[in-house]
Structure 1
Amino acid sequence: MNEHLKGLLITTLGVLFVVPDSLYVRLIDAEPMVTAFWRGMTAGGIILLGLLAVQGTRGFGQVLRSGWPGILYMVLIGYTAPGFVLAVTHTSVANVVFIFASMPIFSAIFARVFLGEPISRRVVMTMLAVMAGLAIIAYGSGENAVAHWSGDLFALSVCIAYSGALTAVRGLKDISMIPAIPLAYIGAALVLWPFIEPGPPVAEQWHLFLGHGAFIAVATCFLTLGPRYISSPEVSLLILLESVLAPLLVWAIVGEDPGRWAMIGGAVVIGALLVSNAVALRRRRVV
């Protein structure tokens, strides 16, 4: 198996493992922050045990010595755990994943502002189309019983936080940031702990909490390893699968109708990114 095919398979598996994330949030009967606590604690714990078994503690020292970029990365990634649960709790899954699909746009903006990287005409046109799609999604939140603008804002904040985290570590190419992920997840869970009672829901739903964390742990590892072997446009195209499959899975299992406007806005966002990344991929192959 060549490295390109290996990258495609690993990244695709990562996307498939992250698809049930929002479904678990819907199935678990607990306060949002309790779900967020166990999501971070179980996923972070599984990744931590895997890292200790494979490489010991040496990777953690590099992360802790990475300075402010590493600290900012961990803080922002840590926020995404409770932020995601709050987003799914307060709005439709379709709205959340379609808003998440716009992440490459925010990454491009941050790269321009903080790293001085130019934004191509293709990306500018994609930004305008994505913004139109997000506006349609926001408009539809007022006409859907499940969707709400507060959850849309949480989803947008998670999207921005994750984009900021990726931008923060762009200069740390020689350091593997995988050990930072369990530190971020477990750290966020520990911050939540004094304000919640995480124990009571576990007795009857331990299998859901454990399954939720396991899926996130596997997805995180695969989505960190896979993109090493394939191009950014290919990664972006594969990640769009999650935006399509997650709402369909939740619709099939719990009957959550995404709503007309979410589907229209999501189609605009995904269509714009699909065309943009296909053009970028074609140009890369020509070169």
Structure 2
Amino acid sequence: MNRDDHLRGVLLVFAGIVVYSADALLIRMSDTGGFTAAFWRGLIAGLTLFVVFSVQYRGSMKRILTAGGIPMLVSGLLWALSGICFSLAVRLASTSVALVCLSTAPFFAALFSLLILKEKLSPLTLCCIAVSVAGIGYMYKDGIAPGTLAGNLAAMAAPVIIGLNFTNLHKHPSVSRVAVCMIGGFSGALISFAALRGNVLIPFSSLRYLLLLGAVVLPVGQLMVSLGTKYVPAPEVSLINSLETVLGIVYVWAFIGERPDRNCLIGGIAVTLAVALNSLVSLIRRRNRAGMRA
């Protein structure tokens, strides 16, 4: 891979994160309930990804879905649950708390990889996990962070579910990621529909933000990041991905004036730096090993 390909990959991942980071902002701007936002977010994203899936695997859709089997269904369900938890966290807690907690997903993935796949954790990763736990603890040092108890519990549940999903996908690399996200979108919509007992109608003034989220932000952001990973190693993608926390908070602060409190700001900085440091060191180690082999 030449430098031009690597630069193209970095730009694609960065652009994808810039787009994808608007997720929380659009959920807040929709001014709907958490399950309502999750329903429309999942349904629209599912329909959009169905179109992408149909084009990408034209003539072999049934084979891809059948080959995915139980691991694909499990990942789709986990994707749905994480999306619902994130939507609830954004609506019922502060956006900054939701985003900071979400950024710890790679550490939960590492822990699940240790427990399920028996993959060893480096001392640095363990230290960064400890720093992240301390950072999140600092956010809650004066009690429950802004928002309801349910919202804060949802914020803490989302990265755990995502981490488990990462581990499942790592164990089954042949599973189609587009199919997983499509199944997750429809599953999330179905679960939310049941939770709301079918009461999902909202005015267009709210729906327009969720249309933008489901039809553009989620699929375009995910597609750009997926394309970028062809040219950029996973640790570098994780490093760039840590910008989502910062950008998401900045977007909400700039557009709707939701400013993170002092505890959340300090704890969030600690968590973001821990995630970035772990990814950066992993990237350096990977490049050093590649240089030694060369």
Q: Higher mean Cα deviation, 149-158 or 262-271?
A: 149-158
Q: Which residue in 1 is equivalent to 2:171?
A: 171
TM-score by length of 2: 0.90
Aligned equivalents of 2:205, 2:285: Cα separation in 1: 53
Evaluate the alpha carbon distance shift between residue 197 and residue 7 of structure 1 in structure 2; reply closer, same or farther with a 3 A threshold.
same
Q: Where in structure 2 are there 5+ consecutive unaligned residues?
A: 290-294
Q: Which residue in 2 is equivalent to 1:134?
A: 136
Aligned equivalents of 1:8, 1:96: Cα separation in 2: 26
Aligned equivalents of 2:70, 2:57: Cα separation in 1: 24
Q: Is the 8 A contact 1:138 1:149 kept in 2?
A: no
Q: Higher mean Cα deviation, 224-233 or 248-257?
A: 224-233
Equivalent runs, 1:227-242 vs 2, <5 Å: 227-242=229-244
Aligned equivalents of 1:172, 1:57: Cα separation in 2: 23
Aligned equivalents of 1:209, 1:101: Cα separation in 2: 22
Three-state SS of the structure 1 residue aligned to 2:228 is helix
Q: Is the 8 A contact 1:11 1:226 kept in 2?
A: yes
Q: Is the 8 A contact 2:37 2:210 kept in 1?
A: yes
Q: Which residue in 1 is equivalent to 2:186?
A: 186
Question: Match for 1:70: what amino acid?
Answer: M
Evaluate the alpha carbon distance shift between residue 196 and residue 57 of structure 1 in structure 2; reply closer, same or farther with a 3 A threshold.
farther
Equivalent runs, 1:1-287 vs 2, <5 Å: 2-56=4-58, 58-59=60-61, 61-140=63-142, 142=144, 146-194=146-194, 195-199=197-201, 201-213=202-214, 214-287=216-289
TM-score by length of 1: 0.92
Cα deviation, residue 56, structure 1: 1.8
Q: Higher mean Cα deviation, 203-212 or 25-34?
A: 203-212
| Residue-pair matches, total | 284
Q: Is the 8 A contact 1:99 1:134 kept in 2?
A: yes
Aligned equivalents of 2:213, 2:258: Cα separation in 1: 19
Aligned equivalents of 1:5, 1:40: Cα separation in 2: 32
Cα deviation, residue 162, structure 1: 1.1
Question: Match for 2:170: what amino acid?
Answer: R
Q: Is the 8 A contact 2:15 2:224 kept in 1?
A: yes
Q: Is the 8 A contact 1:59 1:176 kept in 2?
A: no
What do the CA deviations read for 1:226-254 (whole angstroms, capped 9, x no partner)? 22321122111111111111111111111
Cα deviation, residue 10, structure 1: 1.7
Q: Is the 8 A contact 1:138 1:152 kept in 2?
A: no
